[in-house]
């Protein structure tokens, strides 16, 4: 039987990433990122990210083929991130994928980046998801709770109506002078003995949509007011109180969905913020089967894209 060799392509934000699955096994991933270039800007500059993809994607393809003793003609399928993401960045990946698939006359599968995150806890697992599962995608661009009955029957149960959790982390960190990406820096400072500031609690009922702009404004106002009044800021205290407020809200809303869907077998958690230590500790308290993305799969990479895409191929 002919080998099934699937190339995955991810270019939705600042990571340019390729991965290979050969006969259902993930065998390689190469990822390079413009994050270091972006750090001076406090966020991702779309034009910089787009150019970075354009300058690197073909080099990654050459390397991943050489590393695995393959030639381009060995590829049998191409999976790429179709949406959502920065338009210019997605465009580079889509053009590259479509050109390759057309020239090689092989199957092309465009996938939703978020479904890649959703199933990322299963990438290295020998077990398939025990559907129905509850999924939490918590990243710089998204904060969404999903109900997945299968790989293709997926419903949104809650989605942020304004900022995403990671985005708020990055804005708060920037204000505190911690640099980008802010999540890991705030996570590192977290010290529960310093949870002293009562930032605006999200008092919306547990069944309400996520909304994080209130807590963001509350933290930024606190910092501004203290600065204006020449009052020193305890960065650890601000970081801790902020992190506890925002993560507790996510947990509260996830618990609500568990009550609505008691037949859920597993909770799968992915996205950049899934790396957060406090979130991880709180998650394992709410359900016996919580699968959290391994750290290497929490950020953006093509392994999750090729993994999800491979489940859609007959
Ligand atoms: O999934 P991701 O790499 O990119 C997308 O947004 O799709 O997520 C990046 C986000 C950034 O906002 C970053 O600050 C956040 O994930 N992040 C964290 C942690 N590590 C990364 N947030 C909180 N705690 C962390 N340990
Ligand atoms: Zn992502």
- Using one digit for the tens of pLDDT, what is the confidence trace for 141-165? 899 999 999 999 999 999 999 999 9
At 131 the pLDDT is: 98
pLDDT at 301 over 80: yes
Q: Which ligand is nearest to the CA of 272?
A: 1
The single residue listed with the structure tokens 């995955």 is 8
What's the mean per-residue pLDDT of the chain? 94
pLDDT at 202 over 70: no
> Among the listed ranges 76-80, 254-258, 296-300, which one has the minimum average pLDDT value?
296-300
| Banded model confidence at residue 77, pLDDT cuts 50, 70, 90 | very high
Index of the ligand 1 atom closest to the CA of residue 165: 12
Helices marked H in the chain — which ranges?
A: 35-38, 46-67, 87-104, 113-118, 165-175, 182-189, 213-228, 235-260, 277-283, 302-310
pLDDT-above-70 percentage for the chain = 98
B/e letters for 63-83, b = 16+ CB within 10 Å, e = fewer, are: ebbeeeebeeebbbbbbbbbe
Question: Cα(304) to centroid of ligand 2, in Å?
Answer: 10
Index of the ligand 1 atom closest to the CA of residue 298: 1
Ligand 2 is an ion; residues with CB less than 5 A from it = 139, 300
pLDDT-above-90 percentage for the chain = 87
DSSP state of 68: T
Nearest CA to ligand 1 atom 14: 183
| Banded model confidence at residue 135, pLDDT cuts 50, 70, 90 | very high
Q: Which ligand is nearest to the CA of 293?
A: 1
Q: Tell which wins on pLDDT, 42 or 20.
A: 20
pLDDT at 24 over 90: yes
pLDDT at 203 over 90: no
pTM for the whole thing?
A: 0.90
Q: Are 78 and 7 in contact (CB under 8 A)?
A: yes
Residue of 89, 121, 169 with the most ligand 1 atoms within 8 Å of its CB, for mutation = 169
DSSP-derived 3-state class of residue 267 = strand
Nearest CA to ligand 1 atom 10: 140
Question: Cα(272) to centroid of ligand 2, in Å?
Answer: 7
Which residues have any ligand 1 atom within 6 Å of their CB?
Answer: 13, 139-141, 166, 169-170, 181-184, 187, 271-273, 275-276, 299-300
Question: Rounded to whole angstroms, what are the CA distances from 246 to 285, 287, 298?
Answer: 17, 20, 19
The single residue listed with the structure tokens 């990946």 is 93
The single residue listed with the structure tokens 């479509």 is 98
Whole-angstrom distance, CA of residue 205 vs CA of residue 292:
26
pLDDT in tens, 115-131: 999 999 999 999 999 99
Reading the block at residue 102, the tokens are 């057309």
Partners of 78 in beta bridges: 7, 108
Nearest CA to ligand 1 atom 5: 140
Index of the ligand 1 atom closest to the CA of residue 141: 6
At 180 the pLDDT is: 80
Nearest CA to ligand 1 atom 2: 272
Q: Which ligand is nearest to the CA of 140?
A: 1
| Banded model confidence at residue 58, pLDDT cuts 50, 70, 90 | very high
């Amino acid at each position: 039987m002919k080998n099934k060799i699937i190339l995955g392509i991810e270019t939705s934000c600042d990571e340019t990433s390729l991965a290979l699955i050969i006969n259902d096994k993930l065998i390689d991933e190469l990822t390079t990122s413009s994050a270091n270039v972006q750090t001076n800007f406090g966020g991702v500059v779309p034009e910089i990210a787009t150019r970075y993809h354009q300058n690197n994607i073909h080099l990654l393809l050459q390397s991943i083929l050489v590393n695995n003793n393959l030639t381009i003609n060995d590829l049998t399928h191409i999976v790429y991130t179709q949406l959502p993401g920065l338009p210019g960045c997605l465009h580079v990946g889509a053009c590259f994928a479509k050109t390759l698939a057309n020239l090689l006359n092989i199957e092309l599968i465009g996938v939703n980046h978020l479904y890649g995150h959703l199933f990322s806890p299963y990438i290295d697992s020998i077990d398939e998801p025990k559907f129905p599962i509850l999924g939490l995608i918590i990243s710089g661009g998204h904060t969404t709770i999903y109900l997945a009955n299968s790989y293709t029957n997926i419903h949104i149960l809650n989605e942020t109506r304004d900022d995403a959790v990671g985005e708020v982390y990055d804005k708060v960190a920037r204000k505190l002078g911690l640099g980008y990406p802010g999540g890991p820096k705030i996570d590192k400072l977290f010290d529960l003995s310093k949870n002293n500031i009562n930032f605006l609690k999200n008092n919306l009922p547990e069944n309400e949509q996520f909304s994080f702009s209130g807590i963001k404004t509350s933290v930024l106002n606190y910092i501004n007011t203290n600065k204006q009044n020449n009052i020193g800021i305890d960065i650890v205290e601000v970081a801790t109180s902020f992190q506890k407020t925002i993560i507790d809200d996510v947990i509260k809303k996830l618990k609500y969905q568990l009550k609505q869907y008691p037949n859920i077998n597993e909770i799968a958690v992915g996205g950049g913020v899934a790396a957060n230590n406090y979130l991880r500790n709180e998650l394992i308290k709410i359900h016996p089967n919580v699968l959290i993305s391994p750290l290497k799969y929490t950020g953006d990479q093509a392994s999750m894209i090729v993994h999800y895409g491979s489940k859609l191929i007959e």
